[in-house]
Structure 1
């Protein structure tokens, strides 16, 4: 199976785009739905890699991509796709988009028909006036960290119940979905993507909701497009709302997600430009090192003497222009590995660093410093992460909340945004923090 790689590309205007790549052959642009990231395509990319060079960017403001300035509308998101492809060095290519990703892709096709050789879309929303009014009032509330983490309770239930009702806030029998689930791991993946996006989720999502839904007319000179939706998808009924389309467009329903995927792949294979995808542009001061099948995130200047490491349950801090740092395996944007030390040493060698700056472990009992953050059915693990991240700005170790263990208060460390960053770092690290702590003890002989 082809390995997915990850890359950062800074566009001419300075906006950074994170993208995933996998496979070989003609280029296929994959546009994710909101408020997700390119990570949602990992399994599909691995399956389609035998046929295409799959390229999945995080759209602006989601995942690890910078947001667009101001209050962008759908045309700005569409133009951002075109700008990314140009900077990447990719010409006319095939494209795929699911739900809001399909809306962005269709908008890009309408603005620049020569951008794609073909397009496959999973579900295309055509809202009526009543639905638009309903969404405008309730669908995209402001979402900001609160001092005591109350926002996480809302987030857990918001993500969980979006598979129960559509729209998610419409708790009526008439709004129930047939695809309801209560899988903590699945909810957690979407939770982490919302934590990355923060309140910026409203810009990308809002632009899609407000976007004009008119498709190109029957005589439009546009590339062939296939729109399908599976039974149970809340956009399945919208297939009847599409109206007249270009003669080389088609739309129909299918029974299952697997059928949608199979038909989309066959369509793309039949219409994609045959040109192979060559080397793609990427930044030279940030990327990922492959350690077997896992990826280690790094940033800074290759070839400097020291490789700096952060503390357990923390994340990479932006190094200076003359420094080099990584997210320790299992932390931040680095995958977990069985042998943390071996992976760090391998990454240092690949990056040209001659010395690893292993930090001293924090004081305290590792079994208490790093509480169990395995996702549970009720989202309690989120509050555990928040409580630890808040308390560590007041006591050392954080779990010893008494007069003997107080530390000087740093007002900035108690700002909700700062607590949110530390809580997210803990959630990303999970049990890897405890394993890294024990490794540091052994390295320093404590």
Structure 2
């Protein structure tokens, strides 16, 4: 089963979403500060029953933020705007934690739009809890010149599984689900890096949202709210009070119990089917299946352009391509999938993917970058997540140093290179940093370029 990825224009914004399965639509609204990527495993489980559509909410993942200072009503309206753009009149819906808050508001705005709803936890904060959150829960998050923000981010995400809220480091706020799994921390860290300071708007709107369940006499779609042991919102089940007819809230033992109860509830309804969905014309994902690679290739630009441009190892496609240009993220770079098995280190291994993209768009030629000077093994250090988040600052130092020296690891006068001071803004370095972290196949692509030249 393949999870596909798509872009669609919604008003003046571009929205990215994941899609899987067949049958009636199930809209899946993720928690903050995550993206739709957190639902990939769940989408595989629920895809036999639904066409699962999981958008990145505004400002998270690859979706554009909302303008100004949006509140929870704006984020809920964005749900309806997306459904309108996709041509979906009615559907089932699922939301987890802050995704449930957005979904609850969307239901109250247009209750007739949803057939059935399931939620994973629903926060009803006390005045004391809200006072504790204050401004401390959502400090500004901006990149800094020398990567100091990365040390804060790693520890903030790591300790969020130790204490809730994350900054209340005392026994009262200790959680029972603590871990120090680098891969789990890395998944959230990357999504925070994508969101940047836009996370304040999305997360802040959720925290400030009114916690008012629809009144008992309200006509609402059936809704199930569950929370499992270890979830800090489980105790909030007792705070929900009287709910509309067809609504139920209960505590369950495990995340698996929550997911099964949600699926059973959603599947019991009568939901309309869905046809083909529209997409943007200048950006998307192409499914490619050739020897050694089967997955999605991210492209951007003019699909009728004569020339396909390839990027350097460790980089990604141009984010603002010229009107007559077409770009792609190579496998293991940018937003494209990685290689299925061993990553090829010669041109013969990479060429079939490039040829497949070229043939799909009918491009007449391909612009291949020359390989950078230096030893590939040193140019692209190991950036696998480690227990202490050191890989984040390693990558930051690499992207900064490569503006000054070529190769970047030879920091001396003989290897100095001209540079543009304007390219050293923290925001521009942060974009390069994200590209390098995603470039799992950078060293192999570099070797393939060397092979092509030989």
Tell me the TM-score range normalised by the shorter chain.
Answer: over 0.9
Q: Are the structure 2 counterparts of residues 227 and 194 from structure 1 closer, same or farther at C-alpha, using a change threshold of 3 Å?
A: same
1:406-425 matched pairs, under 5 angstroms: 406-425=416-435
Distance across 1 between alignment mates of 2:135 and 2:46: 39
Distance across 2 between alignment mates of 1:188 and 1:346: 32
Partner of 2:392: 382
2:379 to 369, 376, 394: 369
Kindly indicate whether residue 198 of structure 2 is the aligned counterpart of residue 200 of structure 1: yes
Question: What is the DSSP-based 3-state SS (H/G/I as helix, E as strand, rest coil) of the residue aligned with 1:217?
Answer: coil
Kindly indicate whether residue 308 of structure 2 is the aligned counterpart of residue 307 of structure 1: yes
Decide whether the 8 Å contact of 1:102 with 1:121 is kept in 2: yes
Question: What is the DSSP-based 3-state SS (H/G/I as helix, E as strand, rest coil) of the residue aligned with 1:345?
Answer: helix
1:27-46 matched pairs, under 5 angstroms: 27-46=25-44
1:281 to 256, 270, 278: 278
Deviation at 1:247?
Answer: 1.5
Distance across 2 between alignment mates of 1:140 and 1:158: 11
Partner of 2:444: 435
Partner of 2:78: 80
Instruction: Tell me the alpha carbon deviations over residues 309-363 of structure 1, each in whole angstroms, 9 at most, x when there is no partner.
Output: 1101011103211111101111110111244332222122122223221110111
Decide whether the 8 Å contact of 1:218 with 1:244 is kept in 2: yes
Question: What is the DSSP-based 3-state SS (H/G/I as helix, E as strand, rest coil) of the residue aligned with 1:131?
Answer: helix
Decide whether the 8 Å contact of 1:18 with 1:57 is kept in 2: yes
1:15 to 3, 13, 24: 13
Partner of 2:324: 322
State which drifts further: 284-293 or 253-262: 284-293
How many residues are paired up? 441
Distance across 1 between alignment mates of 2:195 and 2:328: 22
Distance across 1 between alignment mates of 2:44 and 2:444: 30
Partner of 1:352: 362
TM-score norm. by structure 2 comes to 0.96
Kindly indicate whether residue 307 of structure 2 is the aligned counterpart of residue 298 of structure 1: no
Distance across 2 between alignment mates of 1:243 and 1:35: 28
State which drifts further: 238-247 or 354-363: 354-363
Distance across 2 between alignment mates of 1:55 and 1:83: 14
Give ranges in structure 1 of 5+ residues lacking alignment: none
Give ranges in structure 2 of 5+ residues lacking alignment: 344-348
Distance across 2 between alignment mates of 1:243 and 1:94: 24
Partner of 2:335: 333
Distance across 2 between alignment mates of 1:297 and 1:53: 22
Distance across 1 between alignment mates of 2:128 and 2:416: 55
Deviation at 1:291?
Answer: 2.0
TM-score norm. by structure 1 comes to 0.97
Partner of 1:61: 59
Distance across 1 between alignment mates of 2:187 and 2:401: 25
Instruction: Tell me the alpha carbon deviations over residues 11-64 of structure 1, each in whole angstroms, 9 at most, x when there is no partner.
Output: 2x2210001110000000000000000000001111111000000000000000
Distance across 2 between alignment mates of 1:24 and 1:266: 17
Instruction: Tell me the alpha carbon deviations over residues 88-147 of structure 1, each in whole angstroms, 9 at most, x when there is no partner.
Output: 111110000000001000000001111211110000000011111111231000011111
Decide whether the 8 Å contact of 1:37 with 1:193 is kept in 2: yes
State which drifts further: 168-177 or 148-157: 168-177
1:113-152 matched pairs, under 5 angstroms: 113-152=111-150
Question: What is the DSSP-based 3-state SS (H/G/I as helix, E as strand, rest coil) of the residue aligned with 2:17?
Answer: strand
Kindly indicate whether residue 442 of structure 2 is the aligned counterpart of residue 444 of structure 1: no
Distance across 2 between alignment mates of 1:259 and 1:181: 21
Where do 4+ consecutive residues of structure 1 move more than 3 Å?
Answer: none
Partner of 1:399: 409
Decide whether the 8 Å contact of 1:94 with 1:272 is kept in 2: no
Distance across 1 between alignment mates of 2:208 and 2:270: 30
State which drifts further: 314-323 or 153-162: 314-323
Distance across 1 between alignment mates of 2:369 and 2:141: 35
Partner of 2:346: none
Decide whether the 8 Å contact of 1:341 with 1:439 is kept in 2: no
